[in-house]
């Protein structure tokens, strides 16, 4: 065993990188792209959810919605600060997109990114009122849980740590959503409307898992930035959501 080792071999063998100076150029590019996707998605998510605060049917729900908006702004800030250590202008980045902008509810954008906005496509669709927002939060929250578990293993240690810190708080957002959903479906009307929203959001959240056998996945895997394939994450989410909806009798 020698003391000298090629940094790319080190990463391929599961090595962990710890500061921007360690990162080879292509790794750096993919790492920043991953950070941008998270930042844009969370900022767009919290901007979209902000209007929902005023739709909340009670104080408890209003507090829950406000907390979600607050924390989904704090989480991307932590990742943006890391992006700043690579040279990014964080102040400009934070305002370079209109995060609250949405496409038409009936637009069909599939899984494609819109322009230079790196948010997952699901965050381009507008929420329609309280019930719709709660349903979206639960379905997407379960997906975020699976994705954060995956991202908590990325080979860039400072980013993995941020994801590990925020994962329990994101999980709490989903729990708050679930508590809200259970209250909503206690009436027949609420149950009907929740089902309509599930029909709208379920395929759109599904699309956020990306394509099967994506070519970029192999590169990301070699870099230790991904471990499980999109299909595996999607299958985990599908099983989880099917079980949940079945328990709630919402299928």
Partner 1 sequence: MARFYSLEVADVRRETRDAVVLTLNPRDGDDAHFDFTQGQYLTFRRAFDGIELRRSYSICTGKDEGVLRVGIKRVEGGAFSTWANEDLKLGDVLDAMPPMGSFHTPIEPNAEKHYLGFAAGSGITPLLSIIKTVLAREPKSRFTLVYANRQVSSIMFREELEDLKDLYLNRFSLIHILGSETQEIDLFTGRIDAEKCAALFRTWIELTAVDTAFICGPEPMMLAIAASLREHGLSDKQIKFELFASAQPGRAKARAVSAAAAASGADCEATVTLDGATRTFRMPKQGESLLDASLANNMDAPYACKAGVCSTCRAKVLEGETEMVTNHALEDYEVRQGYVLTCQCYPMTDRIVVSFDR
For partner 1, the binding residues (CB under 8 A) are 1-7, 10, 13-19, 21-22, 25-26, 28-30, 32-33, 35-37, 40, 83-89, 92-93, 96, 115-116, 118, 152-153, 157-158, 160-161, 164, 215-216, 219
Pick 53 or 120: Cβ nearer partner 1: 120
User: For residues 40 and 16, what is the distance between their CA atoms, to the nearest angstrom?
Assistant: 25
Name which of 150, 164, 158 is nearest 221 in CA terms.
Answer: 150
From the CB of 91, what's the least distance to partner 1, in Å? 9
Helix (H/G/I), strand (E/B), else coil: 110: coil
Pick 126 or 210: Cβ nearer partner 1: 210
From the CB of 124, what's the least distance to partner 1, in Å? 16
User: For residues 82 and 4, what is the distance between their CA atoms, to the nearest angstrom?
Assistant: 28
From the CB of 248, what's the least distance to partner 1, in Å? 32
Pick 89 or 212: Cβ nearer partner 1: 89
From the CB of 235, what's the least distance to partner 1, in Å? 23
Max Cα-Cα span within the chain: 69
Dihedrals φ, ψ of 218, to 5°? -60, -40
CB 41 within 8 A of CB 123: yes
Pick 71 or 93: Cβ nearer partner 1: 93
CA angle 251-172-209, nearest 5°?
55
From the CB of 107, what's the least distance to partner 1, in Å? 21
User: For residues 247 and 251, what is the distance between their CA atoms, to the nearest angstrom?
Assistant: 9
Pick 78 or 193: Cβ nearer partner 1: 78
């Amino acid at each position: 065993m020698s003391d000298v080792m090629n940094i790319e071999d080190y990463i391929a063998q599961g090595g962990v990188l710890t500061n921007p100076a360690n990162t080879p150029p292509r790794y750096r590019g993919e790492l920043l792209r991953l950070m941008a996707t998270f930042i844009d998605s969370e900022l767009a998510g919290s901007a979209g959810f902000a209007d929902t605060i005023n739709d909340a049917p009670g104080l408890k729900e209003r507090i829950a919605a406000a907390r979600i908006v607050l924390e989904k702004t704090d989480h991307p800030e932590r990742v943006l600060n890391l992006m700043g250590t690579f040279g990014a202008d964080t102040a400009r980045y934070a305002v370079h997109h209109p995060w609250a902008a949405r496409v038409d509810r009936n637009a069909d954008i599939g899984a494609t990114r819109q322009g230079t906005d790196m948010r997952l496509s699901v965050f381009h669709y507008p929420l329609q009122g309280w019930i719709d927002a709660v349903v979206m939060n639960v379905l997407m929250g379960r997906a975020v849980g699976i994705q954060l578990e995956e991202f908590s293993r990325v080979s860039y240690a400072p980013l993995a740590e941020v994801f590990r810190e925020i994962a329990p708080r994101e999980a709490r957002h989903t729990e708050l959503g679930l508590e809200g959903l259970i209250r909503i479906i206690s009436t027949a009307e609420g149950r009907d409307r929740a089902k309509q929203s599930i029909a709208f959001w379920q395929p759109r959240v599904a699309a956020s898992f990306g394509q099967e056998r994506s070519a970029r996945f192999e590169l990301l895997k070699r870099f230790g930035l991904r471990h499980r394939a999109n299909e595996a994450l999607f299958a985990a989410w599908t099983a989880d959501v099917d079980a949940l909806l079945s328990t709630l009798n919402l299928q």
